[in-house]
Chains A and B, each alone.
Chain A
Amino acid sequence: MYETIGIWVGAFFTLAIYSFLYKENPIYRLAEHLVVGISLGYTMAITYDITLKPRLIEPLLSGNHWILLVPAVLGILYITRFIPGIAWLSRYPIAFLMGTAMGVSFPLTLKTDVLRQLEAAMQPFYMSGMPWHEIFGNIVMIFGTLAALIYFFFSKPHKGLFFGTGSKIGIWVIMLGFGATFGFTVMGRISLLIGRIQYLLGDWLHLIE
């Protein structure tokens, strides 16, 4: 019984959201407001259940993890935004979070986005027995990386043989990469649509197995 109601509700809201394809309408608006409201309420409950309760309240109540008072106080400082006289206190946790995030992400980004890329670009592009398409791919990778980097030079005019031609090749390489990504991602989206149609035609209408 509950399962059937759930399927009908799911089907109704799926069609309500799809009705947006025709135009913005009251049914879509109902679905939109419900999904926004429910998602927010659900997130609050989940945050309490999987973060606040097990990682803050329970350890504090057990009396062993007093260090957790530091993040707790920082968290409470956010709420001072609602009290105009001391609203400035909410800037402290924001500053702490931004500073920490930047400090942590800097070496990580450097490692993953720069050094690992460098390492990959330094692979020997030819080894005996390597198929020709792999050798070609390696050469394209090295020159493509260099050309794409030239495109992202902001302090030089994109003119002349090096910066002009290099950046033109670079943007072609970037666009070719984007084209491949586009096709790949669209395939993923189509599979999501198929899943939803299967739900409507199978679970709801029982027209397909």
Chain B
Amino acid sequence: MMISLFMTVLALLQPAIEITDVQDRPNDAGDGLHIYLATPEDTDNFLSYVIYRKEVNQPDNCWQPVMVELFPITGEFIVDGYDPDYLIEPGVEYMFRPATVTISGDTLMGEVFVSPVVSRGEYFNTSEISVFIAGMLFILMIFYYFGKAQKGQQMYLRPIAGIEAIDEAIGRATEMGKPILYVPGLSTISDVATIASLTILGRVARKVAEYQTTLMVPNCDPIVYTVATETVKQAYLEAGRPDAYNEDSVFFMTTSQFAFVAGVNGIMMRERPATNFYLGMFWAESLLLAETGSLTGAIQIAGTDAVTQLPFFITTCDYTLIGEELYAASAYLGREPRQLGAVKGQDACKAIVMALIALGAILSLVYMITGNDSFMFLREMLVSGGAG
């Protein structure tokens, strides 16, 4: 018993980790602090450490363990404020106390450290300047070509087989007297692919209204369902056939991924649509949907920006819109000057990106030959965000 008491006392006399400084985290909303720790030379006996925090004017029973981390400590500092249960409030003065937990289970309390700074938010995130500049440049390019298109300048768009086949696919369904199935992906409305898909849905629905074909649009997301309903209704109105619009043509199924697939596959096998569109964001269900559609003998047009799903669509569908072809599809279908201008503007942005890649490659070649790393300034600018 004496030996164990002696060992405990010895353990408690060991130096523990201490807080040496606390600094405001730069470029944030005032919700983070950097905590600098001093670690003893020998940490072999240490298992983990706990950081306790309380507001300066709170009583002593308000200490809260806001961070529990394992040894070893990596990095120059640790960040406090990432845990949503223990948020840092801007402008509040905090004090901290570290505790070190040894392998034998003892807790070594460190000294209380009053933060010399309070957390403050910044209006501008200087580490994102490169994003800001690139964003402004891209927006300017798009508006430039947008203006040119509005002035009546003719814009050439190269043919894309998948887009040209849309009208043919709708015509086929009309001739066969069978319905058209349109799946706008399984993602939310915030996904660019979903928005592109809904724009195409508008064009498809207008054609469907003109040809008086049956359209089925199953949805996986309730908000996408709402927007899809409005889109199809509007398309029927624009086609001059509001009376032909069927409230049941756009319907919500379920938010569960594989339950949705089971439902859509069942529809495909029972209703036997002549044309299937899968345009939007897809995950593991892509092959299940497209394979079933292929079994029914339907003509299938797919389009997504999900790189992992595109191979499945390419192997099972008649036509596949790859990535940006999906975004450009609405401009192709509508041929409106503004949308054509936007496509041209995006091409100009791609040209800038290509030029930068080529320049970066040349500069890195010069760096390899000369060994002078100042030639890597372009890459450094992108890494640091232009903040120096």
Give A residues with C-beta under 8 Å from B.
17, 20, 23-24, 28-29, 31-32, 35-36, 38-40, 42-43, 78, 81, 90-91, 94, 97-98, 100-102, 104-107, 109-111, 114-115, 118-119, 121-127, 142, 145-146, 149-150, 152-158, 174-175, 177-179, 181-182, 185, 189
Question: Apart from A39-B259, A146-B354, what are 8 other A-B pairs with CB-CB below 8 Å?
Answer: A38-B259, A40-B253, A42-B256, A114-B353, A115-B382, A118-B382, A149-B350, A157-B158
B315-372 with Cβ < 8 A to chain A: 315, 322-325, 328, 343-344, 346-347, 350, 353-354, 356-358, 360-361, 363-365, 367-368
Q: A107-B135, A111-B131, A119-B383 are in contact. Are A125 and B364 (CB under 8 A)?
A: yes
Residues B244-295 near A (CB distance < 8 A): 253-256, 258-260, 262-263, 265-266, 269-270, 284, 287
Could you tell me the distance in whole angstroms from the C-beta of A105 to the nearest C-beta in chain B?
Answer: 6
- Asked if residues B310 and A35 are in contact (CB atoms below 8 Å), the reply is no
Contacts of B325 in A (CB 8 A): 152, 154
In the bound assembly, the distance between CA atoms of A109 and B193 in angstroms comes to 12
Please choose the segment from B91-99, B111-119, B165-173, B223-231 that sits at the chain A interface, where 4 or more of its residues have CB less than 8 A away: B223-231
* Chain A positions within 8 Å of B269 at CB level: 20, 23-24
**CB of A87, distance to nearest CB on chain B (Å):** 10
A146 adjacent to B131 (CB under 8 Å): no
User: How many residues of B are in contact with the other chain, CB < 8 A?
Assistant: 70
Q: Point out the residues of chain A lying under 8 angstroms from B157, CB to CB.
A: 154-155
For A147, give the chain B residue with the smallest CB separation.
Answer: B354
Report the separation of the CA atoms of residues A107 and B177 in the bound assembly, to the nearest whole angstrom.
46
A119 to B192, CA, bound (A): 23
Question: Given A110-B138, A126-B368, are A121 and B357 neighbors across the interface (CB < 8 Å)?
Answer: yes
Q: Please state if B189 and A155 are interface contacts (CB–CB under 8 Å).
A: no
> Does A94 contact B357, Cβ atoms closer than 8 Å?
no
B interface residues with partner A (beta carbon < 8 Å): 128, 130-132, 134-135, 138, 155-158, 160, 188-190, 192, 195, 223, 226-227, 230, 253-256, 258-260, 262-263, 265-266, 269-270, 284, 287, 307-308, 310-312, 314-315, 322-325, 328, 343-344, 346-347, 350, 353-354, 356-358, 360-361, 363-365, 367-368, 376, 378-379, 382-383
A101: chain B residues at CB < 8 Å are 188-190
Q: Which residues in A have their C-beta under 8 angstroms from that of B382?
A: 115, 118-119, 122
Number of A-B contacts (CB under 8 A): 176
* A122:B357 contact, CB within 8 angstroms: yes
CB distance from A10 to the nearest CB of B (A): 14
* Chain A interface helix/strand/loop/mixed: helix
